[in-house]
Structure 1
């Protein structure tokens, strides 16, 4: 069963397209969905990640959702191994695996069998100490000096990944991106659909989405997760929306002051996603506004490369 991957920027409608395609295919074959959004791996991080509620999944099995506690650290290597096992098990059942998400390294690690560089605890500890001394913003600027491509793909607030990139650069003497696989034939002959929308349209969708998240209880969700250790989560605490709400609460606010920072951070993240995914010549880009999106996606999938 040839997998189908639906990737692209946040807010373009990837999950909805996956469900519509599953409905179209259900009359002829089974479909199961594999999540490729790093923050949807976390139990309880539902509103702020736009995780599809269980009762809206139309009976379609979903994998790689709710597999981590917020205190656990998400790992690209772990995801690669477990998601690949899911894809192969789905295909073995005679169903179509649909990979859906916009976490850049997670998608590439899965579709290109990324071989991860070795780690050195001494070197990593040195960079973690440097992070503690100068702060995440300054360390990101140091990364930008030695590896601007890595800095462009890593959030300036993501201390863990900045440390990892600097560790790899020091250990290998090469840019962090050099450890990434060369883009060739996608694993399992996966058909890759990129979903995007006009920037002005997407900005409006993002604004509405973020307003709905806050109206739907994001602040209460963050408060509840904080009681479960969210602040101690190396990865989860930096998720868009969650990090901004925590910062507002910790400064004495009620959480609603995080709306605008969340929108700004999300727009910035969308630019990084576009830059990353647009470099992949295998991606068949579709307009989320087009009435022919489903038909075009199925046409790409049915074409055997």
Structure 2
């Protein structure tokens, strides 16, 4: 008889491409994962993986069986949730991915409050400015900037009104002056960060796109915001990332007549089958809180 743990370890080994990675995720030894997969192969009487000392890949039989295994585990998860769910009690584990800046400064306290409302629910929160890969990463839903580019995913709006704004600290402006047009940014220190593994150095302001440069670059967008607070230069960030700093007078909006590009925030999940009660309630919870940050007039 098939063991559910063996099925789960097969799916995770396929996603991660490694018995060692799957073992680390499950707090097991690599040999235990290899033994589980061998046991599953014996039960099915097929070979699921082609193994070498350097690689692990699915066989043709493994490729055909993987969707069945994934569907079986998902159905069992949904059945477990339905057995234990009630109108006010969410259970199980919800794994959420988000960008670093908005994750630390907005979502962290909101998710903590959501968890207090649902004490039977376990939350796993992953922060990275690299886009989560649902096929490989242990993530149920992702909070993302921008429009959903994958028609296979479900995107639920959280802050469709959000856009980027150009800001700098009063100290920087006192030393270097204010740019009067997008083209004058070429003469300023612009603070840069990586977006989709590339330096985000082409900024759209109104109907113009300008190439900018600066001495400071980070792979963490929150670091760049902190540099701006220290007066190190001008930054082009989501309104949601800097609105609290603007309200506190720590950052000032520049070139308001040249609005930044639209940057909607969405909650993304792989497919409708994963719109569990926990995901649906989290979406409503976050949407209400994002709405409180919408300015009366967007720059």
TM-score by length of 1: 0.27
Q: Which structure: greater helix fraction?
A: 1
Higher Cα radius of gyration:
2
Whose RCO is larger (CA < 8 A, sep 6+)?
Answer: 1
Q: Which structure: greater strand fraction?
A: 2
